[in-house]
Amino acid sequence: MDERDDFWGFLERLAASCPVVIDRPKGSTHPRYTGRIYPLDYGYLEGSTALDGGGVDVWLGSLPGAPVTGALATVDLFNRDTELKILIGCTEEEMGQIVAFVNGGQFQSFLIRREAGA
């Protein structure tokens, strides 16, 4: 087992141990950027803590069984912070929609895809 297996295993355990709270459902408008519509359900893991003091952010896709399918490393120049968002049950197309939604303006992200079998 290598460190990638450990990383994905830890993310799986974190996601499985915390209830997911969806506070921005698919199709809802971003609270600060009214022209931006969420392409998928977005929320956080209740009982977890991210660097910004809130819960660890998650995107929920349409794959059954809700495996962790990736992670999104983000940079926000306005708030001068970075975060790691967990992608749960996302198809390749859905991951592309998430990246397109996040990137632009003051934000930039890098998608970390989970390899099959990892």
Whether residue 39 has pLDDT greater than 90: yes
Provide DSSP, 76-103: ETTTTEEEEEEEES--HHHHHHHHHHH-
- Homologous superfamily in CATH for domain 3-113: Inorganic pyrophosphatase (3.90.80.10)
Single out the residue of 38, 61, 57, 41 nearest to residue 49, CA to CA.
Answer: 57
CA-CA distance, 95 to 100, in Å (whole number)?
Answer: 9
Whether residue 89 has pLDDT greater than 80: yes
Residue 31 token pair: 């609270």
Percent of the chain exceeding pLDDT 90 equals 70
CA-CA distance, 87 to 82, in Å (whole number)?
Answer: 16
Query: Higher-confidence residue: 46 or 106?
Result: 46
Domain ranges of the chain: 3-113
